[in-house]
Structure 1
Amino acid sequence: MIKSTLKFTIAITFIWIGFICSISFMEAWLKFQAPNITTSLGLGIGKLVFGALNKVELFSSFSIIALFIYSNEKPKIKYTLFFTIAFLILIIQTIWLLPNLNERASKIIQGISVPKSQLHFVFIALECIKVICLTLFGKNQLNQLN
């Protein structure tokens, strides 16, 4: 991969990790600690913020894919495996998990009682796996600079 393209890929990867860690692992639960934040208000903020995060993640992933294509080199599988896993998790979250969590949040905001769900735990587990994969992908990309 061309070194300048590789540097952009590395930058995008670690910025993406920063977004996930800031939103999923800090903002998500911290907003409920603020004074006067109701569950409905917190869920409404969460829907907005996670929708924006999803768009940033999709942009990041497609930017990395475009950089791979632009480099005119076929990347080695060992360097793209972790990215591929993270990308697949993102697609699952975009198509299935976030819409289900949004629907659940909307019902709670409307005052509709919903049964307990494991969706948040699934989301957290996938976020952890995604961050690990992106970190390993970024590390592999950094190793290619040497």
Structure 2
Amino acid sequence: MLALVVLVIVPFVWFGMIFAISFIETPLKFKAPGMTHALGVGIGRLVFKVLNLVEALLAVAMVGAWTQRQDLVTLPIGIILALPLIALALQALVLRPAMSARTKALSDTALTHSGGTAVKAKVATITHITYIASELLKAIALPLAGVLLLLAVAA
């Protein structure tokens, strides 16, 4: 029974975290009075590091529950559940480390220089765009998987 609850609830909890942090908190922090770009980027590095850690724990719980309730996970549901796992691995192992190194260098430069540095720091790279796309993928796949799992339980 616990595996069933975890399997159904985790996708919705995970989606809520992504939605709140990636799509609400992150854009809004740069509009806060007195927030500098360097400070916002520094906060973002820390927040997304911790978010990825919590997401990894949720992923482990979800996969563990998946192994216990394989009867509910059809091939389409399995594919949809795998998408956020792949996106998270890409983010944690490739994208976030690359972005963190770049933003740390930009933050360090912004602290010692003025002028055009802050403007250049705001230009999104392909890595950043890929990270946003992977967040969108998770934000679509997780609630879809949760709904499909609920329907599987009800069937």
TM surpasses 0.5: yes
CA shift, 1:47, in A, is 0.7
Matching residue of 1:144: 152
CA shift, 1:69, in A, is 2.1
Structure 1 pair 133–101 and aligned structure 2 pair: CA distance change class (3 A): same
Structure 2 length normalisation: TM-score? 0.85
Residue type at the aligned position of 1:78: P
Matching residue of 2:142: 134
Q: Is 1:125 the equivalent of 2:123?
A: no
CA shift, 1:4, in A, is 4.0
Structure 1 length normalisation: TM-score? 0.89
Structure 1 pair 23–95 and aligned structure 2 pair: CA distance change class (3 A): same
Matching residue of 1:10: 8
Structure 1, residues 19-73: CA drift from partner, whole Å, max 9, x if none?
A: 0000111111111111111111111110110011101111111111111223465
Matching residue of 2:95: 97
Which of 17, 28, 46 in structure 1 is aligned with 2:44? 46
Structure 1, residues 1-28: CA drift from partner, whole Å, max 9, x if none?
A: xx54222211111000000000111111
Q: Structure 2 CA distance, aligned partners of 1:69 and 1:111? A: 48
Matching residue of 1:77: 75
Residue type at the aligned position of 2:64: A
- Segments of 5+ residues of structure 2 without an aligned counterpart are 111-116
Partners of 2:72 and 2:153 within 8 A in 1 = no
Query: Percent identity at matched positions?
Result: 29
CA shift, 1:74, in A, is 7.9
Once the two structures are overlaid, the 10-residue window that deviates more, 118-127 or 34-43, is 118-127
Deviant stretches of 4+, over 6 Å: none
Partners of 1:79 and 1:137 within 8 A in 2 = yes
Q: Structure 1 CA distance, aligned partners of 2:44 and 2:17? A: 14
What is the number of equivalent residue pairs in this alignment? 144
CA shift, 1:80, in A, is 1.0
- Segments of 5+ residues of structure 1 without an aligned counterpart are none
Structure 1 pair 33–48 and aligned structure 2 pair: CA distance change class (3 A): same
